[in-house]
C-alpha cells in the first residue's frame, strides 16, 4: 500500500515559465506533488492562530477584542475531524484562563502536546454516531447549561461533526435508531444540504440548538468548512447557526428519496405524527450575541492548486460547477473541459482543477469512496491517452477505505487488464479501493489535520 511521502520540487522541461512537454511518470509525480503541497498549505493550526489571539489581558477573536476580565468563564467546544488540532491551539493560547472544554474527535489520540485536563475528550463515531457521540452531546449540553451574559463560549467546528456529536431530540428515538437514521441518509444519494436538513430536525444539538443552549453568553464559532461556501449552516449540521430549513422541507426530502420505508419505526412515527419540531430561525434572539468566522474552505484548496500549477508553468483553470453531481456525470464533464483546454494550448501540459464533493450512492459491500469511484470511472475513459486523473479527500479519508483517493493514467486500463481486473465490476461492487490497491495507485496520506472537501486534478500532458 503506497504512501505518498513529501517529494522534492519537480523540475519540468520548457522555456521560461512555460512547460513544453513531460512524460507520463513526470505527470503522475507532478499531480501527487501538487496535492501534497496544497494539503500542507491547508493546515488548520496556523489559521486558528491568526483568528484567535491573546495579548496583554485582551482576547482577540476574528478581529474583535474582548478584555478577559469581562468573562466569568470561558467554555470551549471542539468537535469534528480536526477537533484535536483546534482544541490543542485553544488550550495553548488560553492557558491559565480557567477554560473548561469538550473535544470530540473520530480517534482516541491525546491532544497534540499531551492531554489537557481542561478538556473532557470523547471518541465519537463516523460516519455514523456511536455511544460516545451521544455521551459527548450530553456532556456538551451540560457544559453549556446555565451560561450567563458574562460567559464566553468558543465553538471550534469542522466537518464530520454531524455524526461525532449527536443526540436525539425525541425521547422515543433510541441511539440505535438514530444511528440507523444517519446510515440511511448517508447512503441514499441525497445532497449534503438535504441530508443535514433532516439531521437538524431530529437532533438535540444541531440546527442552532447548541447556540440556544449557550444563550445568553457571547458565542464565537470558528469553523473549517466541508460544504459549499454558500451553505455555512450545513457544516456539522449547523449546531450554532440559524437554520433556514423547515419541517416541511424534511417531509419533501424524505418523499423525494422514498426514505420513510427505510427509516426506523420511531423516526417514521415522528413524521406520521406531523410534529417535527422546528429549529431556531434567522433573527431568533438566541443568536443575538453570536459571531462566525470561516478559517478554511474548499475555495482555498482549489485556489492553491491552480496557483501552484501555474507557478510550475502549466496551463490551468478551475471548474467547480459540478459540485454535488453524480460522479460519472462529473467525470464526463471534467474530461470534456480538459479536452477543450488542451485544444486551446496545443503541445502544452494543461490542468483542470475541481473541488467539492460528488454524489456516489453506496452499492455493494466493497471498500472505497467517492474519490476512488470517480477515478475508477475515468480509467476506461482515458485509456491510451496522455491524461492523468487524481481525486482525493483533503482529510485523508475516502469512504470506508484507508486511502484518501486514487490516481490513474492512460496506461491504467491496460495494466488492469493484464491483472484480470475489470473496472466496471469493481465499481458495481463499491470496491474501488481494492482495484487501486492491486494497481499500487491508491493515494494514502493518513489523517491530514484538515477537512475542506475533495480536490480533483485532471492533467493532459502532451
Instruction: Sort strands 52-55 and 58-61 into parallel, antiparallel or unpaired.
Output: antiparallel
In the chain, where the domains are located:
16-43+299-460, 44-297
- Report yes or no: 179 and 264 within 8 Å, Cβ to Cβ: no
Q: Per-residue pLDDT tens for 160-187?
A: 999 999 999 999 999 999 999 999 998 8
Q: Per-residue pLDDT tens for 12-30?
A: 444 445 555 689 999 999 9
Q: Count H helices, E strands: the chain? A: 16, 17
Q: What cell was used for 324?
A: 454535488
The strand pairing partners of 120, in sequence order, are: 102
- Report yes or no: 152 and 75 within 8 Å, Cβ to Cβ: yes
Is the four-CA dihedral 411, 424, 331, 339 of positive or negative sign?
positive
pLDDT of residue 19: 53
Alpha-carbon distance of 121 to 109, in angstroms, equals 10
Alpha-carbon distance of 214 to 207, in angstroms, equals 13
Residue 388's alpha-carbon distances to 280, 349, 401, 407, 418, in angstroms, are: 47, 11, 22, 7, 20
Side-chain-side CA neighbours of 102 within 13 Å: the count stands at 26
The strand pairing partners of 359, in sequence order, are: 326
Tell which CATH architecture fits domain 16-43+299-460.
3-Layer(aba) Sandwich (3.40)
Q: What is the DSSP string of 425-448?
A: HHHHTT-HHHHHHHHT-EEB----
Q: What is the mean pLDDT of each run of 10 residues along the chain (462 residues)?
A: 35 47 91 97 95 95 94 96 93 91 87 69 94 97 97 96 97 97 91 94 98 98 93 94 97 97 97 95 97 96 97 95 94 98 93 94 86 98 98 94 97 98 96 97 93 96 87
- Report yes or no: 355 and 298 within 8 Å, Cβ to Cβ: yes
- Report yes or no: 167 and 203 within 8 Å, Cβ to Cβ: yes
pLDDT of residue 9: 37
* CATH number belonging to domain 44-297: 3.40.50.10180
Residue 15's alpha-carbon distances to 168, 227, 322, 348, in angstroms, are: 62, 40, 34, 11
Q: Tell me which H or E stretch contains 19.
A: strand 18-19
Amino acid at each position: 500500500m503506497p504512501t505518498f511521502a513529501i517529494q522534492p520540487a519537480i523540475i519540468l522541461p520548457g522555456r521560461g515559465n512555460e512547460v513544453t512537454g513531460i512524460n507520463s511518470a513526470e505527470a503522475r509525480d507532478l499531480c501527487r506533488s501538487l496535492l501534497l503541497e496544497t494539503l500542507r498549505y491547508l493546515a488548520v493550526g496556523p489559521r486558528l492562530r491568526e483568528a484567535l489571539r491573546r495579548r496583554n489581558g485582551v482576547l482577540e477573536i476574528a478581529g474583535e477584542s474582548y478584555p478577559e476580565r469581562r468573562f466569568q468563564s470561558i467554555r470551549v467546544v471542539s468537535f469534528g475531524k480536526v477537533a484535536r488540532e483546534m482544541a490543542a491551539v485553544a488550550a495553548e493560547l488560553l492557558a491559565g484562563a480557567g477554560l473548561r472544554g469538550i473535544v470530540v474527535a473520530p480517534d482516541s489520540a491525546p491532544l497534540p502536546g499531551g492531554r489537557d485536563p481542561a478538556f473532557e475528550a470523547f471518541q465519537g463515531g463516523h460516519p455514523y454516531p456511536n455511544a460516545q457521540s451521544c455521551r459527548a452531546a450530553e456532556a456538551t449540553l451540560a457544559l453549556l447549561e446555565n451560561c450567563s451574559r458574562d460567559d464566553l463560549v468558543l465553538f471550534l467546528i469542522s466537518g464530520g461533526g454531524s455524526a461525532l456529536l449527536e443526540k436525539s431530540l425525541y425521547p422515543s428515538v433510541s441511539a440505535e435508531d438514530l444511528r440507523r437514521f444517519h446510515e440511511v441518509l448517508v447512503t441514499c444519494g441525497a445532497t449534503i444540504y438535504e441530508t443535514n436538513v433532516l439531521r437538524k430536525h431530529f437532533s438535540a444539538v444541531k440546527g442552532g440548538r447548541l447556540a440556544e443552549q449557550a444563550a445568553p453568553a457571547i458565542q464565537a464559532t470558528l469553523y473549517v468548512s466541508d460544504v459549499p461556501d454558500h451553505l455555512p449552516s450545513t457544516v456539522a449540521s449547523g449546531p450554532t447557526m440559524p437554520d433556514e430549513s423547515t419541517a416541511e422541507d424534511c417531509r419533501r426530502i424524505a418523499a423525494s428519496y422514498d426514505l420513510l420505508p427505510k427509516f426506523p419505526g420511531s423516526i417514521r412515527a415522528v413524521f406520521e405524527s406531523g410534529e417535527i419540531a422546528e429549529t431556531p430561525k434567522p433573527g431568533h434572539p438566541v443568536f443575538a450575541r453570536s459571531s462566525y468566522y470561516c478559517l478554511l474552505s474548499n475555495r482555498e484548496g482549489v485556489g492553491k492548486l491552480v496557483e501552484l500549477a501555474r507557478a510550475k508553468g502549466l496551463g490551468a483553470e478551475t471548474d467547480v460547477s459540478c459540485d454535488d453531481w453524480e460522479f460519472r456525470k462529473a467525470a464526463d464533464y471534467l474530461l470534456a473541459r480538459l479536452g477543450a483546454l488542451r485544444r486551446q494550448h496545443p503541445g502544452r501540459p494543461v490542468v483542470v482543477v475541481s473541488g467539492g464533493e460528488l454524489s456516489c450512492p453506496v452499492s455493494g459491500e466493497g471498500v472505497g469512496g467517492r474519490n476512488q469511484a470517480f477515478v475508477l470511472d475515468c480509467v476506461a475513459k482515458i485509456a491510451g491517452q496522455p491524461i492523468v486523473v487524481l481525486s482525493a479527500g483533503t482529510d485523508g479519508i475516502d469512504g470506508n477505505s484507508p486511502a484518501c483517493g486514487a490516481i490513474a493514467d492512460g496506461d491504467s486500463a491496460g495494466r488492469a487488464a493484464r491483472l484480470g481486473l475489470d473496472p466496471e465490476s469493481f465499481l458495481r461492487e463499491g470496491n474501488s479501493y481494492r482495484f487501486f490497491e492491486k494497481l499500487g495507485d491508491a493515494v494514502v496520506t493518513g489523517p491530514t489535520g484538515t477537512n475542506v472537501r475533495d480536490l480533483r486534478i485532471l492533467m493532459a500532458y502532451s
